[in-house]
Structure 1
Amino acid sequence: MTIRPPGNPVVEVRELEVPVYRGNHKVMCALRWKRHADFCTFDIELDGPDEPVHRSGRDLFDALQQVRLELERQGLVIAVQGARTDAYPTGMIRNMVAASRVYIMEIGRDVERKHLVNTFAEAELHTIGTVEQQDAHYREWLEHRNSAGQA
């Protein structure tokens, strides 16, 4: 649990429903995210299906990955675009919109604006992977990009 300094109040809160799966069983759960005044601290609270999960990160994608790691331990999967194996934010997206959007990154293809999706929009279950798989795909995408001289 992260301890917040008293001078870093919450300045924005959003709430939405997201699909969470255990196997093929889907449950819609409430997700709340909060932005703090420093714009460097984001909290995500997911209600259920077993117990609430609360995690923080430097942006929304980082906080989502922290939530996903806990869900993985519980045998659960959150089926949102930001949990797709091939989804990841660039540094610019992290800085400009706090990773509220992510790119769908295909190996061998540079990203364009048309590849941006909302981090918390529902995704097909078969596109979701673990945090480890997602990070590995991003590293592979970077390696191919760098070897092609696109860096």
Structure 2
Amino acid sequence: MRKYSLKCHNGSNYFDSVISMVASHGRVELTFDAESIHIVVEDYYPFLALTQLRLQLEPMGIKILCNGSRLDVYPSSAVIIGFKAYRLEKGMIGSKDNLCYIFDPTEDLSKIATVAEQWDYWIKWRQDVFYH
């Protein structure tokens, strides 16, 4: 079991959380614990499990301050099976230098996005890189 201590923000205050991860039988289970919140999600890939967790926290106004929640971070099909994703730079194809661990903390709340905002940014990035 891996544990990640991460800050969260609820729209007005920062608070501490712990995300515990267990991987077995080709699935990843994430358990989120903070204050009185306890959420368990499961998926085949860590990034998608984190996305599911974020989707459950968003209606509560909660954002997790980790790389996997950043507007400009998204995995490719080649790295989605692991714990890394690319920091996307406009007009640039992802490279090894742009890989980051999705559960590493980030301090900059302004870089944290909703799941929908992150998806939209990725779509626009793909269009800029591959179709222009």
TM norm structure 2: 0.93
Q: How many residues align?
A: 131
Report the counterpart of residue 20 of structure 2 in structure 1: 32
- Whether 1:117 and 2:100 are equivalent positions in the alignment is yes
Percent identity of equivalent pairs: 22
Report the counterpart of residue 128 of structure 1 in structure 2: 112
- Whether 1:102 and 2:85 are equivalent positions in the alignment is yes
TM norm structure 1: 0.82
Deviation at 1:24, TM superposition (A): 4.1
Bigger relative contact order, structure 1 or 2 (CA pairs below 8 A, ≥6 apart): 2
How far apart in 1 are the matches of 2:119 and 2:44? 16
Deviation at 1:29, TM superposition (A): 1.0
Aligned ranges for residues 1-150 of structure 1 at < 5 Å?
13-37=1-25, 39=26, 41-95=27-81, 98=82, 100-123=83-106, 124-148=108-132
Which 5+ residue runs of structure 2 have no aligned equivalent? Answer: none
Higher alpha-carbon Rg: 1
When the two chains are superposed, the root-mean-square deviation of aligned CA atoms in Å is 1.2
State the secondary structure of the residue aligned to 2:79: helix
Which 5+ residue runs of structure 1 have no aligned equivalent? Answer: 1-12
Question: Deviations for 1:79-100, whole angstroms, at most 9, x for unmatched residues?
Answer: 10000011001111123xx2x1
Contact 1:20/1:49, CA 8 A, preserved across alignment: no
Deviation at 1:43, TM superposition (A): 1.0
